[in-house]
Amino acid sequence: MHKRTFLQATAALALAGSFGLAHAQSTPIKFLLDWRFEGPSALFLQPAAKGYFKQAGLDVSIDAGSGSGAAVQRVASGTYDMGFADMASLMEFHANNPDAPNKPVAVMVVYNNTPAAVMALKKSGIQTAADLSGKKMGAPVFDAGRKAFPTFAKANQVSDVTWISMDPPLRETMLVRGDVDAITGFTFTSLLNLEARGVKAEDVVLMQYADHGVKHYGNVIIAHPKLIEQNPQAIKQFLAAFTKGAGEVIANPADAIQHVKARDGIVNTGLETRRLQLAIDTVVNSADAHQDGFGRLNPGRLALMASEVSDAYGTKTRIDPKVVWNDSFLPAAAELDILPQK
């Protein structure tokens, strides 16, 4: 064999071996996102488009979602093997369905902080969280920030809030019209939606939950318990390939948006690049993420979140933090070291 050919063949085998599985042993994985194809979905679409999952011996299909609650339920039903969902939604499912035969488990943290925030317009006179007392607030009934608001209110001594419910597309419109004094929503969603309605960023009062005493984890990768039991190696390979791709996305968000555009041709490339960058800055490459380490979490912080979610969501049973989280599939520390210095 030619020396160069031999070296190339050896390198190719080493790459496949580093992920542990060969193409001939390809394992199908059906993966469900939390929402439609937008900027942050590049974190998953890039490793798929670049073949990292295939190199890991996985045949991964990625579908757009319709909310974290639905993602948890569809993984629980076995329709999907893995998914991307808000940790609070996962906790809520566990606590409200104690007898469910297959409760998904979180295997990696992606959003180290909840993206939830309170937003108001400066012209309303609201400047701090304390100013929310006695005001009208708006959000869909299932909004994560609204459901967790009792924790925010307790941490910031807010009382006597009146809630106005609406469909998601009307949330920012009602704030701009003055129908409500403030809204809850994800930072990288509602801020950009307000801009699209003619509001300048400097005219928005932004109160991110993570900066106001609510240290809840955001979105995590979840897995079906049967996959955990029957093919734990597939989960390890998925997380290794995902981490490699996510590191590239964090380093160069603008380049990664092409993979979102490939899945949904009508997305606005500039807008979704900004959305992805905002998500990276606020919930992926946050100070808390640097403290915990990408992909990981702090058990004490998780236990506090479980208690607060139990109270705020009024779950049927108390949430046991030990059963919603399994870190045994995470890549080695060196592989997880993908966050650039702040």
Q: What is the pLDDT of residues 212-264, one digit of tens each?
A: 999 999 999 999 999 999 999 999 999 999 999 999 999 999 999 999 999 99
pLDDT at position 25 is: 76
pLDDT at 21 over 90: no
pLDDT at 50 over 90: yes
Tell me the pLDDT band of 166, cut-offs 50, 70 and 90. very high
Tell me the pLDDT band of 44, cut-offs 50, 70 and 90. very high
| Domain at 27-113+217-335: CATH architecture | 3-Layer(aba) Sandwich (3.40)
Indicate the pTM of the whole model: 0.91
Strands 82-86 and 27-32: parallel
Q: What is the pLDDT of residues 272-286, one digit of tens each?
A: 999 999 999 999 999
27-113+217-335 and 116-211: identical CATH topology = yes
Q: Where are the domains of the chain?
A: 27-113+217-335, 116-211
pLDDT at 18 over 60: no
Residue type, 136: K
Give me the CATH code for the 116-211 domain, please: 3.40.190.10
Phi-psi bin for 15: left (phi > 0), alpha (psi -120 to 50), beta?
alpha
pLDDT at 342 over 80: no
Dihedral sign computed on CA atoms, order 85, 96, 224, 301: positive
Q: What is the mean pLDDT of the chain?
A: 93
pLDDT at position 9 is: 44
pLDDT at position 134 is: 98
Instruction: Count Cα atoms within 13 angstroms, Cβ side, for 217.
Output: 37
Q: How far apart are alpha carbons 41 and 257 in whole angstroms?
A: 9
Tell me the pLDDT band of 341, cut-offs 50, 70 and 90. confident
